[in-house]
A and B are shown apart, each in its own frame.
Chain A
Amino acid sequence: MSRRWPLRVAGLAVVLLAWQISVPMIGMPATFYPSPADVAQAFVTVTWEGILPSYVLDSIGRYAAGVAIGTTVGVTLGIAIGLNRTTSDLLAPIISFFYAIVEVVWIPLLVIWWGYGLKTIVLAIVYVSVFPVLYNTISGVRAVPQVLVNAAHSLGASRLQLLNDVIVPASLPQIITGFRIGASFGFRGLIFAEMIAASSGLGYLIADSATNQQPARTVVGMICMGLLWLFIDSIYLKPFERVTIERWGTVVSAGTRR
Chain B
Amino acid sequence: MTRATRRRLLGVVPFALLVAAWVLAPHVATYPPYVLPSLGTVWSTFTHAVLDGSLSLDSPAGRGTRLRARIPCAAN
| Interface, chain A (partner B; CB < 8 A) | 86, 89-94, 97, 112-113
Contact = CB atoms under 8 A, between A and B. Distances in A.
Contacts, number: 24
A112 B37 CA distance: 12
B10 A86 contact: yes
B14 A91 contact: yes
> What secondary structure prevails in chain A residues at the interface with B?
helix
Contact of B15 (A86, A89, A94, A113): A94
A94 B15 CA distance: 7
B2 to A, nearest CB: 13
A32 to B, nearest CB: 24
A94 B14 contact: yes
Contacts of B15: 93-94, 97
Contact of B7 (A89, A97, A113): A89
Nearest to B6: A89
Contacts of B69: none
Contacts of A90: 10-11, 13-14
Contacts of A86: 10
B11 A92 contact: yes
Interface of B: 6-7, 10-15, 18, 34-36
A119 to B, nearest CB: 15
Contact of B35 (A93, A94, A97, A113): A113
A206 B59 CA distance: 30
B60 to A, nearest CB: 19
A130 to B, nearest CB: 16
A92 B11 CA distance: 7
A89 B5 CA distance: 11
B61 to A, nearest CB: 17
A93 B34 CA distance: 28
A113 B31 CA distance: 10
Contacts of A92: 11
B15 to A, nearest CB: 6
Nearest to B12: A93
3 nearest interchain CB pairs? A93-B11, A94-B14, A89-B10
B76 to A, nearest CB: 32
A13 to B, nearest CB: 40
10 contacts: A89-B7, A90-B13, A90-B14, A92-B11, A93-B11, A93-B12, A94-B11, A94-B15, A94-B18, A97-B15
A187 B75 CA distance: 49
B14 A93 contact: yes
